[in-house]
Amino acid sequence: MMHWINIIIQGVLTGGLYALMAVGLSLSFGIMRLVNIAHGDLTVLAAFLAVSLGLWLGAAPALILLLLVPLMAAVGYGLQRGLFNRVLGNDLLPPLLVTFGLSIVIQSGLLEIYSADARGLAAGNLVTDSLALGGGLHVGILPLLIMGMAILVFVLLQLLFARTRLGRAFRAAADDPQIVSLMGVDNRHVYALAMGLAMAVTAIGGFFFVLGASVAPSDGGARLIYAFEAVIIGGLGSLWGTLIGAIVLGVAQSVALQINPGWGILGGHLAFLLILMFRPYGLFPVVKNH
């Protein structure tokens, strides 16, 4: 019994990392209805930037994260203002094509700069230290830190949307962008700020993805699939649904991995398909038709 409890705990903690990598995708769809095919590669880009900052500065991981977040926020703002805003509209195909092209450019650029070798960011004792819960249960300090950071990010985002002027602008632009533009609000700027925010939290996911592990330029596709599955399981446009979806995905992978060592990733995909069979719009959908 305790063995399976431990497996479920590990799956929940894995879901924390998936949530950090998926929330940016949830924000871009929820606010702008932008399906960002390049999201996984942008996560990998953030991870490689973290590695480079560590090599150039020799700084502690906490300082690397503090530098990485505003850097990726600026990247997101620039991409939205200079590229994505030009293709947003009622037709979903142009954004899909543009973000697909961006995905190829990012991956090719990373291969050119870093080669195909996997890179990592040293985490010291964080990788090996664990906390005893009693009854033979132990959880790693790093997974706990990641889950704590995920919860903090979601709480702060909820407060931002509920209690700040910028959050109200995000919600208004998501609900009815045409009416908002008639009231004198520059949707292009609001969308760029939203993408900057999405990339800021994506930077946190990329940072923890590479912390104590390794990342390769070709990893973007897998990160995109996990992010999409977490967002869709939770429900398109649902912030907290993304966290729940990520946890469901993590637990499914953990349980499947225990049943058969080769079934880990497959277990997550099967859970995704089963949930869509009974809940085609996810567990907590927030989809608006304009």
Q: Work out the end-to-end distance of the chain between its first and last CA atoms, rounded to an integer number of angstroms.
A: 49
CA torsion, points 84, 112, 26, 74, in degrees to nearest 10?
Answer: -60
The DSSP 8-state label assigned to residue 183 in this structure reads: T
The pLDDT profile of the chain, 290 residues, written as one tens digit per residue, is: 777 888 999 999 999 999 999 999 999 998 998 999 999 999 999 999 999 999 888 878 899 999 999 999 999 999 999 999 999 888 889 999 999 999 999 999 999 999 998 998 887 777 778 887 777 788 889 999 999 999 999 999 999 999 999 999 898 888 877 776 766 678 889 999 999 999 999 999 999 999 878 999 999 999 999 999 999 999 987 889 999 999 999 999 999 999 888 888 899 999 999 999 999 889 998 755 44
Dist. CA 84–CA 192, nearest whole Å:
9
The structure tokens listed for 213 are 């592990």
Write b or e for each residue in 200-239: b if 16 or more Cβ atoms lie within 10 A of its Cβ, otherwise e: bbbbbbbbbbbbbbebbbebbeebbebbbbbbbbbbbbbb
Dist. CA 180–CA 194, nearest whole Å:
15
The structure tokens listed for 115 are 């080669």
For residue 51, what are the CA distances in angstroms to 2, 25, 65, 153, 177? Answer: 37, 23, 11, 22, 38
Q: How many residues does the chain have?
A: 290
Dist. CA 244–CA 26, nearest whole Å:
13
**Cβ pair 118, 214 in contact under 8 A:** yes
pTM over 0.85: yes
Chain-centre distance for alpha carbon 162: 21
Dist. CA 214–CA 216, nearest whole Å:
7
The structure tokens listed for 46 are 């953030």
Bridge partners of 215, per DSSP, are 119
**Hey, what amino acid is at 157?**
L
Dist. CA 20–CA 149, nearest whole Å:
8
The structure tokens listed for 131 are 């906390």
All domains of the chain in start order, with CATH? 2-278 (1.10.3470)
Helix, strand, coil fractions of the chain, as percent rounded to 5: 75, 5, 20
